[in-house]
Chain A
Amino acid sequence: MASMRDIKRRRVSIQNTEQITKAMKLVSTVKLQKSRTKAENSKPYFNMMYQTVSSLLARSGNIEHRYLKAGDSRKVAVIAITSNRGLAGGYNNNIIRMVMGDERFPSDRTVIYSIGNKGKDGFARKGYEIAGDYPEVIEEPVYQDASDITKVVLDSFEKGEIGEIYLAYTTFKNTVSQVPTLLKLLPVEAGEEGQGERKETLMNYEPNEDLVLDQLVPKYMSSMIYGALLESVASENGARMTAMDSATSNAEEMIEELSLQYNRARQGSITQELTEIIAGANAIS
Chain B
Amino acid sequence: MAEMMKLKVITPERNFYDGEASMVEFTTTEGDIGIYKDHIPLTAIVAPGVLTIHEPEGKREAALISGFAEILPDGVTILAEVAEWPDEIDYSRAQEAKERAERRLQEKAPNLDVARAELALKRALVRLDMRK
Q: Interface on A for B, CB 8 Å cutoff? A: 41-42, 44-46, 48-49, 52, 56, 59, 143, 201-207, 211-212, 215-216, 219, 223, 226-227
Residue contact A143 to B12, C-beta cutoff 8 Å: yes
Residues of B with Cβ closer than 8 Å to A?
8, 10-15, 28-30, 40-45, 67-68, 70, 72-73, 77, 79, 81
CA separation between A48 and B44, bound complex, in Å?
A: 16
Which residues of chain A come closer than 8 Å to B43, judged between CB atoms?
56, 203-206, 212, 216
A52 with B44, Cβ < 8 A, contacts A45-B11, A206-B30 known: no
Whether A52 contacts B70 in the complex (CB less than 8 A), given A44-B15, A219-B79, A223-B12, comes out as yes
Q: With the chains together, A230 CA to B103 CA distance in Å?
A: 37
Which of B30, B45, B72, B79 is A45 in contact with, Cβ under 8 Å? B79
Bound CA–CA A227/B79 (angstroms)? 14
Name A41's contact: one of B14, B42, B67, B73 (CB within 8 Å).
B14
- In the bound complex, how far is the Cα of B67 from the Cα of A106, in angstroms? 36
Chain A residue with the shortest CB-CB distance to B67 = A219
Cβ contact within 8 Å between A219 and B42: no
- Given A206-B29, A216-B43, 9 new contacts (CB under 8 A): A42-B14, A45-B13, A201-B41, A204-B43, A205-B43, A211-B45, A212-B68, A215-B45, A223-B12
Set of chain A residues within 8 Å of B73, measured between Cβ atoms: 201
13 contacts between A and B (CB under 8 A): A41-B15, A44-B15, A45-B10, A46-B12, A48-B8, A48-B79, A201-B72, A203-B41, A203-B42, A205-B44, A206-B43, A207-B30, A219-B81
* Shortest Cβ distance from residue A186 to the other chain B in the assembled complex, whole angstroms: 18
B70-A44 in contact (CB<8A):
no
| Residue among A45, A48, A201 with most chain B CB within 10 A | A45
Chain B residues closer than 8 Å to A203, beta-carbon distance? 41-43
